[in-house]
Amino acid sequence: MVDALIGISVLLPFIGAILCFLTKNPRGRAAIIVTTGVLLTLSSLLLFQNLHGPYLYTPGSLLGLNVNSLITFADFALLFIILGIAFKLGNPLVILLTLLQIVPLAYFELKMAPHVEVTPAFYIDNLALIMNLIISIVGSLICIFGIRYMEEHEHHLHLKKSRQPRFFFFLVLFLGAMNGLVFSNNLLWLYFFWEVTTFCSFMLIGHDKTEIAIRNATRALWMNMTGGVAFVAAIIFIFYNTQSMEYLSLQALINHGPGLTTALLLPFALLCFAGFTKAAQVPFQSWLCGAMVAPTPVSALLHSSTMVKAGVYLVVRMAPGYQGTFLSTMVATFCAFTFLTASALAVNMSNGKKILAYSTIANLGLIIACAGINTPAAIIAAVLLIIFHAISKGLLFLCVGTIEHAIGSRDIEDMRGLYNTMPAVSRITIVGILTMMLPPFGALMSKWMAIESAAHIPWVVVMVALGSGLTVLFWARWAGLFVSGPHLKVFEAEENQGFFAPIVTIFKGFSAKSKWKDPASIKVPLVTLAVAAIVLSLGVPWLYTSLVDPVLASYKPGLFVKPFETGPMGLTSGVGAFYVLPIFLVSIIGYLAAVIAAKQKDHRVFSAPYMCGEQYPDISQPKFRSHLNSWKDYVAANIYMQEFIGEDKISYWINSIALIILIVLFGEVLR
């Protein structure tokens, strides 16, 4: 049963992808996507239900073929495809990087260690299960969202021939590759799935075939290929340093013998480096920002549940392996730096998707920094952050996508007052934003854990502190923009809805009479994710015991102590406490009181905003009388602190500093 479920998780998307590619009928394709999504979700849930503790599994053969050889073959096939593409692109860098992988890998497979068999090939612990859940559920929701989105997208582009089959082929394939990646224990298999995600992301980013799309896709390709090269190098070094096949198993690598730490430090560093490239840490942030040219489902997928999470997963997974080493501190430093700078860059952006992109990079930085801090509490923080980030960020991307289709812009300045015209989506977006930045929501709780556990490394905590100040800035103003402007109309319409208006609209959205006209394939993902973000935050104590705690248990026994106590109120540790429920309750009560107050109609008058005595009589139109007695529209804009943190101004410095840190890291490791 469990084996079958694992098979479904990995193989079903491959099958689904191929079916998508073959089906020309959009309805049929939609059905395939939905079925795949539902099945994946079910299988991941079942898997989660049935597995307690690490599960080892080595698939024997597939359709009569040895899986191991199959993957080796597929690996080379993939690399040669990329090589072919590289030649077609005429990009020497990509060619070089591909060759740098093919040659050593061939040498390794053929000369150094022919016919390596690493058992178990799959090692499925709770971390992998959590990843599987995220990938399967969030990923599927995004794919479902994509159905309708791509229809409109192609409509906008006026394509003659639909390119959706190809699009969904890669989109769904991605899920399978990710599932394979998180389950793999065999580093060679892991590498294969790793490259598949790289390749898929390349194809998806370049999907629109515009010049800029191809350029950005190429950038994504070469940056991730650097990671691939590091990965291959790591494999070779492991074998070379230990002269044993055993440590090609990830779990063995993590639980390596005490005497091996120095010998394995370089491979660890290389694998971390591979993780950094995939997680778009500075100086590799540009590929993820460039990926914004892709259709929104792609961005959502890359950012929330897949791709970047692969890098994060690898580093977090290996954390116990390099605990207490110099590498660990450097990882924390490097990624805290990423957190700080990416947050700063996000402040500078007015493009909604770019804000999300930089915020993703920042959050990944924080997650990896937690892995680097490497205390039990920090690892917990990292895992929680992975979960909450995936949900909220996926939600936000889908929201921006929906908004973009409605208003034709992804600039946050254009979302000013959007609450007037798209109340439901705006509310959900605001919920998404608040879950990213405010207590008692999960993302903030993980940040709380991160700061408390980082407290003993002052420079890391400083960077985290500065960075989190910056995140508040860009989130708060974005949330505020939605409600900016006169709101007479909306409130009038909702007067009879009582004070559960936000919740009510979300669910009423599904009734035929509702004003929220988007189709179900857009509503379902949005609502599910929004509700999940809130409910999971509320259930953090439960989440903690049932999900995160076992994560630790699956690590090397005895290495970790349980960092937190759960109680009815929330979590407490030796040094701090985070009361989820009370804060939640008080906030809700406050909110209800506020809404009741807002609904009371007694004595209230509307007034135009203060315009120094020159306001326009109609309060729904902010205007003022300017020179020549003309009516001038009042326009507002955010402060982007251009002269402090202009993107083009500081990117160079950020990249240089990041490179220096990396060089120090490797220099020290090699010493």
d(Cα 553, Cα 540) in Å, to the nearest integer?
Answer: 18
Q: Is 586 in the site for other proteins (CB under 8 A)?
A: yes
Q: Is 497 in the site for other proteins (CB under 8 A)?
A: no
Q: Is 491 in the site for other proteins (CB under 8 A)?
A: yes
Query: Which residue in the set 259, 604, 648, 670 belongs to the binding site for other proteins (CB under 8 A)?
Result: 604
Cα–Cα nearest to 488, from 622, 367, 626, 291: 622
d(Cα 560, Cα 575) in Å, to the nearest integer?
Answer: 17
Q: Closest approach of Cβ 485 to other proteins, in Å?
A: 5
Nearer to ligand SF4, 620 or 626 (CB): 620
Q: Is 632 in the site for other proteins (CB under 8 A)?
A: yes
In order of 46, 68, 69, 109, the CA distances from 75 in angstroms are 30, 10, 10, 11
- Residues numbered 422 to 451 that lie near other proteins (CB under 8 A) are 437-439, 444, 448, 451
- Cα dihedral across residues 236, 240, 242, 246: positive or negative: positive
515 secondary structure, DSSP code: S
Nearer to ligand SF4, 621 or 655 (CB): 621
Residue with tokens 């497979």: 109
Q: Is 500 in the site for other proteins (CB under 8 A)?
A: no
134 secondary structure, DSSP code: I
Query: Which residue in the set 241, 255, 351, 484 belongs to the binding site for other proteins (CB under 8 A)?
Result: 484
Query: Using CB under 6 A as the criterion, which residues of the chain lie in contact with ligand SF4 when the complex forms?
Result: 420, 486, 489, 617-618, 620-621
Nearer to other proteins, 1 or 628 (CB): 628
Q: E strand or H helix at 645, and its extent? A: helix 642-645
DSSP H helices, 51-163, are 67-89, 92-107, 126-133, 139-157
Nearer to other proteins, 307 or 460 (CB): 460
Nearer to ligand SF4, 514 or 621 (CB): 621
* Rg of the chain on CA atoms, in Å: 25
Query: Which residue in the set 496, 613, 667, 670 belongs to the binding site for other proteins (CB under 8 A)?
Result: 613
- Cα dihedral across residues 490, 491, 495, 498: positive or negative: positive
Q: Closest approach of Cβ 621 to ligand SF4, in Å?
A: 6
- Residues numbered 198 to 237 that lie near other proteins (CB under 8 A) are none
Q: Closest approach of Cβ 415 to ligand SF4, in Å?
A: 14
Q: Which does 350 bind (CB under 5 to 8 A by kind): other proteins, ligand SF4, none?
A: other proteins
Identify whether the C-beta of residue 570 lies closer than 8 Å to the C-beta of residue 540: yes
Q: Closest approach of Cβ 298 to other proteins, in Å?
A: 27
State the Cα torsion 443-448-449-452 to the nearest 10°.
160
Nearer to other proteins, 411 or 518 (CB): 411
Collapsed DSSP state (helix, strand, coil) of residue 184: strand
Query: Which residue in the set 483, 504, 524, 650 belongs to the binding site for other proteins (CB under 8 A)?
Result: 483
Query: Which residue in the set 324, 574, 656, 659 belongs to the binding site for other proteins (CB under 8 A)?
Result: 574
Q: Closest approach of Cβ 621 to other proteins, in Å?
A: 9
Query: Which residue in the set 45, 83, 102, 476 belongs to the binding site for other proteins (CB under 8 A)?
Result: 476
Q: Is 638 in the site for other proteins (CB under 8 A)?
A: yes
Structure tokens at 626: 């300017």
Q: Closest approach of Cβ 597 to other proteins, in Å?
A: 6
Nearer to other proteins, 27 or 603 (CB): 603
Q: Is 579 in the site for other proteins (CB under 8 A)?
A: yes
Collapsed DSSP state (helix, strand, coil) of residue 90: coil
Query: Which residue in the set 1, 512, 605, 670 belongs to the binding site for other proteins (CB under 8 A)?
Result: 605
Q: Which does 636 bind (CB under 5 to 8 A by kind): ligand SF4, other proteins, none?
A: other proteins
Q: Which does 469 bind (CB under 5 to 8 A by kind): ligand SF4, other proteins, none?
A: other proteins
Collapsed DSSP state (helix, strand, coil) of residue 18: helix
Q: Is 469 in the site for other proteins (CB under 8 A)?
A: yes
57 - beta bridge partners? 122
Q: E strand or H helix at 623, and its extent? A: strand 623-625
Nearer to other proteins, 49 or 610 (CB): 610
Query: Which residue in the set 60, 111, 492, 557 belongs to the binding site for other proteins (CB under 8 A)?
Result: 492
Q: Closest approach of Cβ 480 to ligand SF4, in Å?
A: 18
- Segment 33-38 long-range contacts (CB within 8 Å, at least 24 positions apart): 33/143, 33/144, 33/146, 33/147, 33/168, 33/172, 34/144, 34/147, 36/12, 36/140, 36/143, 36/172, 37/140, 37/141, 37/143, 37/144, 38/140
d(Cα 150, Cα 312) in Å, to the nearest integer?
Answer: 29
d(Cα 344, Cα 429) in Å, to the nearest integer?
Answer: 22
Q: Is 510 in the site for other proteins (CB under 8 A)?
A: no
Q: Which does 296 bind (CB under 5 to 8 A by kind): other proteins, ligand SF4, none?
A: none
Nearer to other proteins, 234 or 370 (CB): 370
Strands (E), 96-239: 122-124
Stretch that binds other proteins, among 70-78, 173-181, 330-338, 457-465 (CB under 8 A): 457-465
Q: Is 46 in the site for other proteins (CB under 8 A)?
A: no
With a CB cutoff of 8 Å and minimum separation 6, the contacts of 546 are none
Nearer to other proteins, 351 or 528 (CB): 351
Q: Is 648 in the site for other proteins (CB under 8 A)?
A: no
Pairing of strands 61-62, 65-66: antiparallel
Q: Which does 35 bind (CB under 5 to 8 A by kind): other proteins, ligand SF4, none?
A: none
Q: Is 627 in the site for other proteins (CB under 8 A)?
A: yes
Q: Which does 22 bind (CB under 5 to 8 A by kind): ligand SF4, other proteins, none?
A: none
Q: Closest approach of Cβ 423 to ligand SF4, in Å?
A: 11
90: left (phi over 0), alpha (psi -120 to 50) or beta: left
Q: Is 421 in the site for other proteins (CB under 8 A)?
A: no
- Residues numbered 346 to 375 that lie near other proteins (CB under 8 A) are 350
455 secondary structure, DSSP code: T
With a CB cutoff of 8 Å and minimum separation 6, the contacts of 545 are 566
Q: Closest approach of Cβ 464 to other proteins, in Å?
A: 8
Q: Closest approach of Cβ 410 to other proteins, in Å?
A: 14
Q: E strand or H helix at 8, and its extent? A: helix 2-22
Q: Is 639 in the site for other proteins (CB under 8 A)?
A: yes
Q: Which does 420 bind (CB under 5 to 8 A by kind): ligand SF4, other proteins, none?
A: ligand SF4
Structure tokens at 88: 């077609």
Q: Is 246 in the site for other proteins (CB under 8 A)?
A: no
Nearer to ligand SF4, 246 or 618 (CB): 618
Structure tokens at 635: 């326009």
624 - beta bridge partners? 615, 632
Q: Is 479 in the site for other proteins (CB under 8 A)?
A: yes
Q: Which does 591 bind (CB under 5 to 8 A by kind): other proteins, ligand SF4, none?
A: other proteins
With a CB cutoff of 8 Å and minimum separation 6, the contacts of 175 are 13, 40, 135, 136, 139, 140, 143, 306
DSSP H helices, 243-260, are 250-254
Q: Closest approach of Cβ 497 to other proteins, in Å?
A: 13
d(Cα 397, Cα 357) in Å, to the nearest integer?
Answer: 9
Surface-to-core class of residue 123, CB atoms within 10 Å of its CB (0-12 exposed, 13-18 middle, 19+ buried): buried
Q: Is 615 in the site for other proteins (CB under 8 A)?
A: yes
